Amino acid sequence: MNLKSKHKVEAAFSMSSMTDVIFLLLIFFMLTASFITPSGLPVNLPTSKSSNIVIQKVSVTITKDLKYYVDDERVSLNKLEGVLRNAFTGKAGVVVLHCDKSVPVDHLVRVASIATALEAKVSIATKPN
């Protein structure tokens, strides 16, 4: 009586599917790492417990000596609304405020009110604890 099976099982393991997964993860992390754009101006940001990263459309920076910058270009407060209106043409209205923690709150509120009058979403940049 012959009890041997006709189908033999190979003991080899194929690594090709694992390398595909590794390459897909590498591509994913390379693409998502380029979405974080730091501000180039040195301001001392306040801290918060949760720091969400927002894809930055227009960056408004207020330094401790009350100078206003829109995307690293100095702007006077009188011309800020016009510069923001021109910056939103063709883009979704998102403003990220980089405000030094020594700046009085009324300057922050003034810029936020200009942005909301232009129907833009306002986000305040903080550094994590």
pLDDT, the chain, mean: 79
pLDDT level of residue 2 (50, 70, 90 thresholds): low
Tokens representing 44 are 């001392």
For the cut 70, the answer to whether the pLDDT of residue 91 exceeds it is no
* Burial of residue 42, with CB atoms counted within 10 A of its CB: 0-12 exposed, 13-18 middle, 19 or more buried: exposed
Tokens representing 68 are 């206003």
> What pLDDT is stored for residue 53 in this prediction?
52
For the cut 50, the answer to whether the pLDDT of residue 72 exceeds it is yes
Structural domain boundaries of the chain?
Answer: 47-128
CB neighbour list of residue 84: distance below 8 Å, 6 or more residues apart: 58, 60, 70, 95, 114, 115, 118, 120
CATH topology assigned to domain 47-128: Nucleotidyltransferase; domain 5 (3.30.420)
